[in-house]
Amino acid sequence: MAMIEIRDIHKTYGTFDVFKGLTIDVEEHQVVCLIGPSGCGKSTLLRTMNGLEKIQQGEIRIHGDRMTGPGVDLNALRRDVGIVFQSYNLFPHMTVLQNVTLAPIRVLGQSHDEAEDTAMRLLTRIGLAHKAKEYPDRLSGGQQQRVAIVRALAMGPRVMLLDEITAALDPELVSEVLNIVRDLATEGMTMLLATHEMGFAREVASKICFLCDGKVHEEGPPEQILGDPLEERTRSFLQRIIEAGRL
Ligand code: ADP
Ligand code: MG
């Protein structure tokens, strides 16, 4: 059983079919990168896996538990699935520590002490313990995004979903965020991430999935997908990425 099973999902927005039978497996400890043109559904897929979007057909399971369809346990889902977005979405009126401890206290029922211990341990690991009492607007974009990752990790998720988490950052702040993701990969966190950082995908991905026209158009190990793709549409997408200087 794969840790993440996305099985033949279909979804429409009005008359637009965003997924037309999309299937992906992510094994435990694997890092799978989603690539594809803007609008191909990368964000929608990750949002669907976190219960933020509905699908019309197919199913998604995480560790065997159904994440879609009627009767889904939203609390279990939020515990098991950590998600980080391009825009960090920290609560501006809460300190870093409050941002990180909120869900463990509210959703997991942890005591304040327990939640703060975990939060401080995680913040120490990413070198931001000294910012615990600061408000997000006093942090750089890279620091805010690192806090957003820690906020997701504080729930003890089984999987992490990352949606172009470096896309809004100044170039010099990208590496501090990617370093955390690299560490998580090394520690064996199962991750599904949408990214435009092809060099990073080549380095950390167990598998790259090229999304196009509502499906996984081509998938395989990074050296094959980025180096010698079989499909014409994968090739032309990568050609555009190369022309933009991103590969
Ligand atoms: P990506 O992240 O790959 O750029 P998205 O998942 O954001 O793509 O979007 C996939 C497609 O679905 C796009 O064509 C987008 O316009 C459409 N879409 C996304 N969200 C909505 C929505 N709430 N209503 C209608 N169309 C949407
Ligand atoms: Mg997107």
Give the pLDDT confidence of 104-153 residue by residue, as tens digits. Answer: 999 999 999 999 999 999 999 999 999 999 999 999 999 999 999 999 99
**Is residue 91 in contact with ligand 1, taking CB distance under 6 Å?**
no
**Is residue 39 in contact with ligand 1, taking CB distance under 6 Å?**
yes
Q: How far apart are CA 181 and CA 203, in angstroms?
A: 11
**What is the structure's pLDDT at 245?**
76
User: pLDDT tens, 165-195?
Assistant: 999 999 899 999 999 999 999 999 999 999 9
Contacts of 121 (CB under 8 A, 6+ apart): none
Closest atom of ligand 1 relative to the 40 alpha carbon: 3
The three-class DSSP label of residue 34 is strand
**Is residue 142 in contact with ligand 1, taking CB distance under 6 Å?**
no
Is 206 among the domain residues? Answer: yes
Q: How far apart are CA 142 and CA 73, in angstroms?
A: 33
Ligand closest to Cα of 44 equals 1
Nearest to 31 by CA among 176, 161, 169, 226: 161
Max Cα separation, the chain? 55
- Asked whether the beta carbons of 157 and 5 are under 8 A apart, the reply is no
**Is residue 22 in contact with ligand 1, taking CB distance under 6 Å?**
no
Total of domains in the chain? 1
**What is the structure's pLDDT at 174?**
93
The dihedral sign for the CA sequence 123, 178, 203, 196: positive
Supply 242's token pair. 């190369």
Average pLDDT over residues 212-227: 97
User: pLDDT tens, 226-245?
Assistant: 999 999 999 999 999 888 87
**Is residue 156 in contact with ligand 1, taking CB distance under 6 Å?**
no
Is 174 among the domain residues? Answer: yes
Is 27 among the domain residues? Answer: yes
Contacts of 229 (CB under 8 A, 6+ apart): 210, 218, 235, 238
How do 31-35 and 207-212 pair as beta strands?
parallel
Domain enclosing residue 58, as ranges: 4-91+159-243
Is 144 among the domain residues? Answer: no
Is 189 among the domain residues? Answer: yes
Average pLDDT over residues 8-22: 96
Q: What is the DSSP string of 117-131?
A: HHHHHHHHHTT-GGG
Is 133 among the domain residues? Answer: no
Is 18 among the domain residues? Answer: yes
**What is the structure's pLDDT at 73?**
86
- The CATH number for 55's domain is 3.40.50.300
Question: How many angstroms separate the alpha carbon of residue 221 from the centre of ligand 1?
Answer: 26
Supply 160's token pair. 């992490």
- Asked whether the beta carbons of 6 and 60 are under 8 A apart, the reply is yes
Is 211 among the domain residues? Answer: yes
Query: Rounded to the nearest 5°, which phi and psi values hold at 25?
Result: -115, 135
- Asked whether the beta carbons of 210 and 231 are under 8 A apart, the reply is yes
CA atoms within 13 A on the CB side of 110: 19
**What is the structure's pLDDT at 53?**
92
User: pLDDT tens, 64-96?
Assistant: 999 998 888 888 888 899 999 999 899 999 999
**What is the structure's pLDDT at 182?**
96
